[in-house]
Chain A
Amino acid sequence: MSIAIMKKSGPFAHGFNTVQKTMFTVLLALMPATLFNLYLFGWPAILLFTITVGACVAVEAACLLLAGKPVVATLADCSAILTGWLLAMSLPPWAPWWIGVLAAIFAIALTKHAFGGLGQNVFNPAMVGRTVMLISFPVAMTVWVAPHPLFSAGAPGLTEAFAITFGGNMPDTVSAASALGYIKTELSRGIPVAQSMAQVPDLMDMTLGYRAGSMGETSAILILAGGLFLMAKRIISWHIPVSMMGSLFLIAALFHAIDPARFTSGTFHLMSGATFLGAFFIATDYVTSPVSKTGQLIFGIGVGLLTWSIRNFAGYPEGMAFAVLLMNSLTPIIDQYTRPRAFGRTRKGEPLPLEEKP
C-alpha cells in the first residue's frame, strides 16, 4: 500500500477558509495604514511601494518558473504581494529603487524559495530583506524624511519623485531622525533621555503618524486598527501581539523606573518604531512563528524582550526586525517543546493513570 494509491479518506466537508482568503484579509487590514502613509510621504513613497511589491511578485514568478511549479496558481495565493507590502512598509519611504529590488530578491529568492517556497522558510522574508539592506547599506537605509503630505507645499511632485527614487537626488534639507534614532544619538553624545525626549514629537503625534520613520513605523493607530480587525476575523489570535507588547512594555517600564535618565518609558517603546506593525503583522506570520498557542506566547515574549534589548544596547536604534529573526530561528525548538498534551496522556506521552473516582 502506498499513500498515493489508497482510496481517498474523508471528511466530505471542508471549511471555507483558504490561503488566498487569509492573505487577502491581511492585505485588507494593512490598507488604511498604507494609504495614509502613502499620502503622508507622497510620490516617492508611492513609487518605492509599487517597485517593491512588483519586484517581489516578479522574483516569485521567476523562482516558481525555475522550480517548475505552477506560476499563476501559486501567485494567486497573494503571499508574495503580502511579503512585498510588508517589506515596503519597513523601508525608508524615500529610499532609492534599487533598495526595494534588492530587498525583494533577498526576501523572496533567498529567504523563501531557497528553502522550498511558501511554508518552508525559517525566517520571515520581509524582515530578512529589510535587515540585509540595513546592514549592507546603512546610510541609504537610515535616511528618514519628515512627512510631506501629497499636494502640500514643499511636497515633491511626480517629476521630482522620479528624481528621488530613480536618480538618487535626495534633497538635503528634508532628512529627519526617527524618534528612536534621535534618542539613541543624543544618548551617545551624553544627553540624557529626559532632555532629548523634549525634542521628539509628542506621543499624540506619534500615535497619529505625523513623524519621521518608515511607513510601517508611523501611524500606530491605523496599524492597531488593522491588527484588531485581523483578530476579529480570527486570522490571528491575541497570543503573539499581547505577549510581545506586554513584555516590551513591562521591561521598558521597569528599567525606566530604575533609571529614567538612561531608559525611555514603556509607553514610548510601544508607540515608537515598528512595535505595532511587528506585533500584529510581522511576528504573527504563520510560517515563521510557532503553531501552538503556548509556543506563540513564548515567541511573543521573546520578541518583546529582544526588541527592547537591541533598542537599548545594540548599535541599531530599531530592534524589532532583528528580534523577530532571532526568535524565528528558535521556532522549530519552541514548536517541539510546546506540543499540546494528547487526550488521555500525560505531557510525557504516557497514558494517564486511572485515578480513583472523585
Chain B
Amino acid sequence: MKLFPIRGGIHPEYRKDMTSEKAIVAMPMPAALYIPLQQHIGAPAEVLVAEGDLVRKGQMIARNQGAVSASQHAPTSGRITSVAEVAAPHPSGLPQKTIIIEPDGKDEWADLPEPIADPFAADPHTIHDRVAQSGIVGMGGAAFPSAVKLNLGAQKKLETLLLNGAECEPYLTCDDRVMREYPDEVIDGARIMAHALGTAKVVIGIEQNKPQAIEIMTRAAAAFPEIKVVAVPVQYPMGSERHLVQAITGRETPARKLTADLGIVVHNVATARAVHHAVRFGRPLVARVVTVSGGAIREPSNVMTPIGTKVSDLVEFCGGFSARPESVVNGGPMMGQPLPSLDVPVVKGTSGILAMTAEEINNSPTSACIRCGACVTICPCGLSPVDMAAFIRKDNLDVAAKLGVMDCFSCGSCSWVCPSHIPLVHYFNYAKGVLRELESERRKSERIKTLAEVRTIRIEKAAEAKRAALAAKSKPAADAAPPGGETKATTEEKVNA
C-alpha cells in the first residue's frame, strides 16, 4: 500500500526491547482498589454504591453522566470501604472523588448483560449502547469515551475505521503484546466497531518496529478482505491520529475539524479488544495491560492490571525499584504525565508506568537558544517553536496564539531535539492553559454582558411603559421618574462578573 510522508518527527531511543518479549502477566489482586469517578475526558460518573455495599466483578458502581462520560465497574468482587477524596494520577496531584473497594479474593462475576449473539446483524445502536454501558474509553492514553466516537457514523458519512497500532511512544509495548497475544479478539472487535460505524473498510496501522505484530495481525486478518494491515514507518509521532491518517491516506485533517470529517475514525487496538469483550461476553472494562518499564524498574513487564490498582502495588509486583527513579511517568516518555506520587491508581487510560533514571531522561540545564532551527524542522504540526517560545517568555501570549500555539499537541519533539534543552513544551502547556482560561473567561463575561443587556433593555422598556402610563395620567410626574433600570443592571453585572 502506498504511504504518504508526514512532516518532521524524530527518532528517539525506543528501548522497547526491555518489555517487548515479555508476555502479558496477570497481577494478583491488591489489598485495595481505588476507582476514580473521572478517568476519562468529560463529566465524572455518578456514584451508585455506598460504604459497606458488597459488589461483584463487573457490577456498575458509577454511572456515566451525560453523553461525554463513562461508567465505572467493580474490577473484582468485594466490599466498598468508602467513597473518598484520593489523589488522582494527574500532575497536579489534586484529590478526586474515588470509590475504594476491598477485594474479597473470590473474584466473582456479577450477572453480566447478555452477549450480543450476532453483532453484525445487530443494530448499530445496540452495539453503541453496549460499549457505553461497558465503560470503554480510548485506551491509547487520551481516554475519550469510545461510545461517543462510535456514534460518529450517525452524523457523518464514514468510510474507514483506522485501528491505531502504531504505538510510537518509546518504551511502551502493551499494544504490541495485545496484538501478538490476542490478534483474533482485536480483529473481531475492529469488525464490530466497523459495523457500528458503518464503514466498509478497516485499516490497521502498525509501526515497522513491530514485525511480529504485523505478521500475526496480517495472518489473523487474512480471512477478512475488508481488513488491511499496513506497516507504517518508525517516526515519532506517527501514532497521533491526524498524522497516522495523513500517512495512510495522504489527507490532511483541517484545523478544528475531526478525522471523521474526512470519513475516517481512529480507535486504538486495545480499545477494539475491550469492545470484543463487551459485545461477545458482556464484560465491562475492568482491567488493562500496562507496560511497566524504565531503567529504575527491577523487572520491566507487561501486566494485566485491575483498574484502580495503586501504582505502588504495580511497581511492587514488578520487583520494585532497582535504582532511584528521577521521574515516574504515567504514559510514554514523550507525552506522558509526571506522577506526583506512587499513591495514585492505574486508570483506564494508563498505557504505561515508567520509572526513569536521570540518565535515560538525559536532560541538561537549559542554555540560551542558538536559533539552530531544529525545532522548526521537526515540528510535525509545522509550527515555529523557537518563535512561540520567545513570545511566551515575554508573556506576549497573543502573538504566541497567532503563531499557532493552540495547534501544538505537546508531542514533545521540539523539547527532545533542542540542543539548548529549552523546555519548549512546558512553555506551550503554560500558554495553552492561560489562553484557554482567558477564552472561557471571555465567553463567560460575554454571556453575562448579553444577559445584562437583555435585562437592561427589558427594564428600560418597562420603565418606558410606566413613564408613558404616568405621563398619560399626569405630565409633571413623568419627568421625575428615575432612570432606575440602568443602574440596577450595572450593579447586577458587577455581581455576576
Which residues from chain A sit less than 8 Å from chain B, CB to CB?
1, 3, 6-19, 21-22, 73-74, 77, 79, 117-120, 286-293, 296, 335, 339-345, 349, 351-354, 357
The 9 closest A-B pairs by CB, nearest first: A11-B412, A291-B373, A352-B254, A344-B255, A351-B255, A12-B333, A13-B333, A119-B368, A340-B382
Residues of chain B within 8 A (CB-CB) of A341 are 382
Kindly state the separation between the CA atoms of A18 and B374 in the bound complex, as whole angstroms.
Answer: 12
A-B contacts besides A119-B420, A340-B383, 15 pairs, CB < 8 Å = A6-B429, A7-B91, A12-B327, A12-B334, A14-B364, A15-B418, A18-B421, A292-B377, A335-B387, A339-B403, A340-B379, A344-B256, A345-B407, A352-B254, A354-B262
Q: Which of B7-15, B70-78, B209-217, B439-447 contacts A (4 or more CB under 8 A)?
A: B7-15
Does A12 contact B354, Cβ atoms closer than 8 Å?
yes
Q: State whether the Cβ of B253 lies closer than 8 Å to any Cβ in chain A.
A: yes
Q: State whether the Cβ of B363 lies closer than 8 Å to any Cβ in chain A.
A: yes
Q: State whether the Cβ of B323 lies closer than 8 Å to any Cβ in chain A.
A: no
Kindly state the separation between the CA atoms of A343 and B252 in the bound complex, as whole angstroms.
Answer: 7
Q: State whether the Cβ of B416 lies closer than 8 Å to any Cβ in chain A.
A: yes
Residues of chain B within 8 A (CB-CB) of A286 are 370-373
Residues of chain B within 8 A (CB-CB) of A119 are 368-371, 420
Instruction: Tell whether A6 pairs with B426 under 8 Å between CB atoms, given A292-B373, A352-B252, A352-B254.
Output: yes
Does A11 contact B335, Cβ atoms closer than 8 Å?
yes
Kindly state the separation between the CA atoms of A296 and B419 in the bound complex, as whole angstroms.
Answer: 19
Does B334 contact A11, Cβ atoms closer than 8 Å?
yes
Q: How far is the CB of A191 from chain B (nearest CB, A)?
A: 45
- CB contact between B430 and one of A3, A12, A344 (< 8 Å): that residue: A3
Does A10 contact B254, Cβ atoms closer than 8 Å?
no
Q: Give me 12 A-to-B residue pairs in the complex whose CB atoms sit less than 8 angstroms apart, sorted by A's number.
A: A6-B429, A8-B338, A10-B334, A11-B415, A12-B334, A17-B374, A289-B371, A291-B371, A342-B407, A344-B257, A345-B254, A349-B402
Closest to A79 in B: B370
Does B425 contact A9, Cβ atoms closer than 8 Å?
yes
Q: How far is the CB of B428 from chain A (nearest CB, A)?
A: 8
Q: How far is the CB of B243 from chain A (nearest CB, A)?
A: 8
Instruction: Tell whether A342 pairs with B404 under 8 Å between CB atoms, given A13-B13, A13-B360, A13-B416.
Output: yes
Contact with A along B270-290 (1 / 0, CB 8 A): 000000000000000000000
Residues of chain A within 8 A (CB-CB) of B155 are none
Does A10 contact B425, Cβ atoms closer than 8 Å?
yes
Q: How far is the CB of A218 from chain B (nearest CB, A)?
A: 29
Q: How far is the CB of B359 from chain A (nearest CB, A)?
A: 11
Does A354 contact B261, Cβ atoms closer than 8 Å?
yes
Does B370 contact A14, Cβ atoms closer than 8 Å?
no
Does B337 contact A342, Cβ atoms closer than 8 Å?
no
Residues of chain A within 8 A (CB-CB) of B91 are 7, 9
Residues of chain B within 8 A (CB-CB) of A291 are 371-373, 376, 384, 386-387
Closest to A345 in B: B255
- CB contact between A13 and one of B170, B263, B404 (< 8 Å): that residue: B170
Does B382 contact A16, Cβ atoms closer than 8 Å?
no
- Taking residues whose C-beta sits less than 8 angstroms from the other chain, chain B's interface range is 35 or more
Residues of chain A within 8 A (CB-CB) of B370 are 19, 22, 79, 118-119, 286-287
Kindly state the separation between the CA atoms of A14 and B429 in the bound complex, as whole angstroms.
Answer: 18
Q: How far is the CB of A329 from chain B (nearest CB, A)?
A: 15
Q: How far is the CB of A196 from chain B (nearest CB, A)?
A: 42
Contact with A along B328-351 (1 / 0, CB 8 A): 010001111110100000000000
Does B363 contact A14, Cβ atoms closer than 8 Å?
yes
Residues of chain B within 8 A (CB-CB) of A288 are 371
Residues of chain A within 8 A (CB-CB) of B410 are 9-10
Residues of chain B within 8 A (CB-CB) of A14 are 361-364, 415-416, 421
Instruction: Tell whether A352 pairs with B255 under 8 Å between CB atoms, given A12-B329, A286-B373, A343-B382.
Output: yes
Closest to A339 in B: B384
Contact with A along B423-457 (1 / 0, CB 8 A): 10111011001100000000000000000000000
Does A22 contact B419, Cβ atoms closer than 8 Å?
yes
Does A21 contact B242, Cβ atoms closer than 8 Å?
no
Does B242 contact A343, Cβ atoms closer than 8 Å?
yes
Closest to A2 in B: B430
Kindly state the separation between the CA atoms of A13 and B419 in the bound complex, as whole angstroms.
Answer: 13
Q: State whether the Cβ of B459 lies closer than 8 Å to any Cβ in chain A.
A: no
Residue with the highest number of chain A CB atoms closer than 10 Å, among B12, B371, B412, B425: B371
Q: How far is the CB of A255 from chain B (nearest CB, A)?
A: 33
Does A339 contact B368, Cβ atoms closer than 8 Å?
no
Does B384 contact A292, Cβ atoms closer than 8 Å?
yes
Contact with A along B392-425 (1 / 0, CB 8 A): 1000000000111001001010011111110101
Closest to B437 in A: A1
Residues of chain A within 8 A (CB-CB) of B374 are 17
Q: How far is the CB of B369 from chain A (nearest CB, A)?
A: 5
Residues of chain B within 8 A (CB-CB) of A10 are 329, 333-338, 410, 412, 415, 425
Residues of chain A within 8 A (CB-CB) of B420 are 18-19, 119
Does B423 contact A8, Cβ atoms closer than 8 Å?
yes
Q: Using a CB-CB cutoff of 8 Å, which residues 99-139 of chain B contact chain A?
A: none
Q: How far is the CB of A332 from chain B (nearest CB, A)?
A: 10
Kindly state the separation between the CA atoms of A117 and B380 in the bound complex, as whole angstroms.
Answer: 30
Kindly state the separation between the CA atoms of A354 and B254 in the bound complex, as whole angstroms.
Answer: 7
- CB contact between A293 and one of B335, B363, B377, B419 (< 8 Å): that residue: B377
Does B383 contact A342, Cβ atoms closer than 8 Å?
yes
Does A18 contact B404, Cβ atoms closer than 8 Å?
no
Contact with A along B22-48 (1 / 0, CB 8 A): 000000000000000000000000000
Residue with the highest number of chain B CB atoms closer than 10 Å, among A22, A73, A74: A22
Residues of chain A within 8 A (CB-CB) of B7 are 340, 343
Residues of chain A within 8 A (CB-CB) of B382 are 340-343, 345
Does A13 contact B252, Cβ atoms closer than 8 Å?
no
Kindly state the separation between the CA atoms of A102 and B329 in the bound complex, as whole angstroms.
Answer: 53
Closest to B367 in A: A19
Does A15 contact B423, Cβ atoms closer than 8 Å?
no
Closest to B414 in A: A11
